[in-house]
Structure 1
């Protein structure tokens, strides 16, 4: 029997699975016209959103199971750094919707099994720094939730926020310095205090020292929408105390890669 301490936490894997299932429920019965519906991401249809998730799930599976093959995929990405993400999404979006849906479902299942079997202490290659399996699972959940928001917005659907957002919030907090660095800005030296009201309206998710001068407070959902750049800051109920914290809310991002363009304010 394997040592439970060497495995990715079961609750994290369950949350990742639930996030995929919730998004699956939004798209599973759509007709071809539904799959072609545009989303808030410029040039991306609903099919592009699912194709991107299928592509990145497949890349994560390769990173976990075949480092040499993944290295070749990274070489391909480096040869076209400005277009490889869009190219992967476009390739999948061109498939018949039923085939794309089947591939995404199979890939989610295979990735879940690989994450469950992975040694929690090992670091696996990725497009940025190598990641442990738990971090990879959290990142996949974050991206599934974020692209799921694009899908929900395109369909005019309202999703009920859940405690799974704690994974997204944690990545957003930990990515603070990256958000500054990717814009060529020096990261603040002092730690921030972040206090987020959980979706249940009662629990508070707190990060950083309680006596920090730089602070961010507000709903966890709003923070997650901000750091995944699915909503503009002016449309969210987040409060910054301190100049550095205020600057962070203008540039925050939880995802790797170049600085995102974000969303326009609702009134724009």
Structure 2
């Protein structure tokens, strides 16, 4: 599948943020205290995490020394720094937290557009170009937005923006093995995903590959962001290596997540 254009990535990032913004803006202040599927995290924690991570991304793009110091602070408490960042923001009044998140989104998008296209910027995982940083922020916004939607009992309509999430999930295949200390398969897999409109198919990898993954793009994105258990999704693997990957896939940087418990059937 061809790489998306610069305007497409930045435009989709803005739209993803605006969609989640509309969801939480319409929620009552008491709804921000609702628990989400992430243990110990409320709706406020989810938005606070996005605000906190957007600030970290902005720091990476504009002050690499400052970001390096931030990473050292994180390494001092590797098991808790993400939760601590979310907890600190979740203590704010919802209106104040929402405005901080809005301001941070705007600043980050501006910094991404102004960044030199070929330069790579530090991150918790491998360094990334600004365009990849924007795609990663979209992925995180969508994933944490799913937690918010689940908490508020809202069923979101999947959009073509999921192609960014799917692409990251495919490209992060070897990283999922790396963070688990496992050797990655030597050959590429073929991944074929049915787009949300039901008309298109998003394809990755050589068509002749004997290891294959197929299914709805939404389900694949839920899998690689660990927002649903594999048993509850219509994602299928052909081949031992592909099957193993679906058990460990992750689209996000950092240590392996705990994932979600199986609910007992497709969503």
| TM-score normalized with structure 1 length | 0.95
Query: For residues 85-104 of structure 1, what are the alpha-carbon distances to aligned partners after superposition, in whole Å with 9 as ceiling and x for unaligned?
Result: 00000000001111100100
Structure-to-structure mapping, 1:124-203, within 5 angstroms: 124-203=121-200
Structure-to-structure mapping, 1:1-268, within 5 angstroms: 9-267=6-264
| TM-score normalized with structure 2 length | 0.96
Moved over 2 A (4+): 29-32
Offset at residue 32 of structure 1 (A): 2.4
| CA RMSD, 1 decimal | 1.1
Q: Which residue number in structure 2 is paired with residue 3 of structure 1?
A: none
Query: For residues 126-176 of structure 1, what are the alpha-carbon distances to aligned partners after superposition, in whole Å with 9 as ceiling and x for unaligned?
Result: 122211001100000000000000000001101111110000000000111
Paired residues, number: 261
**Residues in 2 aligned to 1:17 and 1:137: alpha-carbon distance in whole angstroms:** 10
**Residues in 1 aligned to 2:257 and 2:29: alpha-carbon distance in whole angstroms:** 29
SS where residue 191 of structure 2 aligns?
Answer: strand
Offset at residue 31 of structure 1 (A): 2.4
Offset at residue 44 of structure 1 (A): 0.2
SS where residue 15 of structure 2 aligns?
Answer: helix
- With 59-68 and 137-146 compared, the bigger mean Cα shift is at 59-68
Q: Which runs of 5+ in 2 are unaligned?
A: none
